[in-house]
Amino acid sequence: MRFDYVIVGGGSAGCVLANRLSADPRRSVCLVEAGPDTPPEAVPDAIYSDAFLPDYFQPYRYWTDLEAYTGALGNKSQAQVKADMKPRRYEQARVMGGGSSVNGQVLIRGLAADYDEWEELGASGWSWNDCLPLFKRIERDLDFATPLSGTEGRIPIRRTFPEHWSPFALAFRDAVGKVGIPYLDDSHQQTGDACFPFGRNNAYNHRVSAAAGYLDESTRRRPNLRILAGSTARSLTFEGRRATGVNVVTKGREQWIEAGEVILSAGALHTPALLMRAGIGSAEHLREVNVPVLCDRRGVGENLLDHPLIGFGVHLRDHGRLSPAARNGFLMHMRWSSGHPDCAPVDMKLTVSGRFAATRLGQRLATVNFGPNKAYSKGIVRLNAASPEAEPFVAFNYLSDERDLARFKSTARRVAGFLSTDPVSGFVNGFWPGIYAESLRNLSAPTAWNKLVTNVAASLLDLGGPARRMVLGAAVDRRFPLERTLADDATMEEWIRTGVQGDWHPCGTCKMGAPDDSYAVVDPKGLVYGVERLRVADASIMPSIPSANINLTTMMIGEKIADCIISA
């Protein structure tokens, strides 16, 4: 098979690219996705209807062998990290639509300053004024029609307004309002500190993924578009330094797909791994794993960014809970300025959920999660082995920058203050320093056993007294009792270092930059430096992390790179 463009990865950017590039019948396009397809007439009900993490951690939705190290790396080598730290599994989507098919349906653009920063970092043509028309092109806003709104795009955006929030979330909105953080209906209007309802890629209580929005039936019927789902890209092929195609495995059968140009849209963890296996990366590292060096680009796999977060678990009183009829548990989002002298304005985020999970137990619990929206700690992606079967080595290096830890501490105490006083405290039975432990993660899997366990736990919570204390005792990490954690700085730091996790927003590992930036991997058109006919278009090219969930920004990258190709 030969195509003008082979796109590796059917995630949020890949779906956009497949649609835009194949709109010209003179271009032949092949979209390769490792996970299952979700065609319009056969979207699984879990994806269509579930608000968050459908079919949680099942191998037909996620890369279940992918793990990540979260602790600060210091000067440790890759081997020392493996010896000293325990990895955590990492929830990375493996399905058409990528993260947009399994995430919390959060659609936030980020701030104008985020994209102006990209241009300052060498991504010429990616300023806010350049990117805003692309955001508007994507969106079909069901709630607003302002000069900042997109009204005719392929991805609907709607919000769950306060009339449908839980009393607990409403009280939190009122509490932050008293300290000067105003409420806005529309996050697109935010220029400073504010709280607002989440924008969501959702229409009429149904998820609209990038696959649903961009790979609709009319797009799929184009004779010049070929979609290969359930097909894993094993390697890239080259003649000299010119990319010629991709080796793909489908149902155990390997085939070579010849390409006029290869576009990697496999995400911030797998795209750098594909590049390194092809010999594009740090020469020193490639020699360590016995990969012949094609192009020495030391920025490949560097600059791994995420939104680290932690939070408090909350046991709600009956009158503070979200209605079971409400489909969306993500209610209030807040972005505000920490005031840290070495941090940008509006550098923090906080989320108030109405329930922990869509179970009887989860309906009695809420969370308040928080962390830096502009995190400064940077991690790495490396190869564990040259084999395409081996998942990459991923180390996020959370809290390696003092500014991130300091802001976590100050925010934890501030949030505890809100939870302990009126108007919020009237809806709270109790709260505790949260640890999203493996046992809690496992309870999210859709199994009959989990349903039984969570139903019994909910009944015990309702009994109160010793039964309630027993259930909460299983949820609370005994190392971090609330009063001591808030009062003792060392205990708080230990809690944060133990419990910190990412928000599943990896980006930055193949960053855009100017030709004289030795750590830049691609130019502002997504073309990989040092080779020919190879491009990257996904979250890995972000020079810095935006102050928002990155899904919408990733779709914007797909639009922008498609424009670069079409206008060439």
Catalytic residue, from 188, 270, 315, 505: name it.
Answer: 505
- Helix H or strand E segment including 305: none
What's the distance, CA 30 to chain centroid? 25
Q: DSSP string covering 380-424, please?
A: EEE-S-SSTTSPPEEE--TT-SHHHHHHHHHHHHHHHHHHHSTTT
What is the C-alpha to C-alpha distance for residues 465 and 189, in angstroms, rounded to an integer?
A: 46
Based on the residue annotation, tell me whether 307 is a catalytic residue of this protein: no
Residue with tokens 């080598």: 77
**In terms of Cα–Cα distance, which of 199, 189, 186, 49 is closest to 138?**
199
The 3-state secondary structure of 51-67, one letter per residue: CCCCCCCCCCCECCCCE
Q: Are 492 and 204 in contact (CB under 8 A)?
A: no
User: Beta strand pairing status for 139-141 and 155-159?
Assistant: parallel
Report in angstroms the alpha-carbon separations of 563 from 121, 137, 542, 557, 567.
21, 12, 17, 10, 6
Q: Considering only CA atoms, which of 39, 36, 32, 23 is closest in space to residue 1?
A: 32
CA 263 – CA 229 distance, rounded (Å): 16
CA–CA distance, 510 with 537 (Å, rounded to integer): 10
Structure tokens at 410: 């100050």
Tokens of 258: 């010849």
Contact 367/255 with Cβ under 8 angstroms?
no
Reduced to 3 states (helix: H, G, I; strand: E, B; else coil), residue 566 is: helix
Rounded to whole angstroms, how far apart are CA atoms 137 and 150?
Answer: 6
Q: How far apart are CA 189 and CA 131, in angstroms?
A: 16
Which of 101, 88, 105 is closest to 33 using CA atoms?
Answer: 101
Half-sphere exposure of 432 (CA within 13 A, CB side): 19
Q: Which of 159, 153, 152 is nearest to 188 (CA)?
A: 159
3-state per-residue secondary structure call for 477-529: CCCCCHHHHHHCHHHHHHHHHHHCEECCCCECCCCECCCCCCCCCECCCCEEC
Comparing CA positions, the residue from 529, 540, 535, 534 lying closest to residue 295 is: 529
Distance of CA 372 to the CA centre of its chain: 14
Residue 437 near residue 475, CB atoms below 8 Å? no
Catalytic residue set: 505
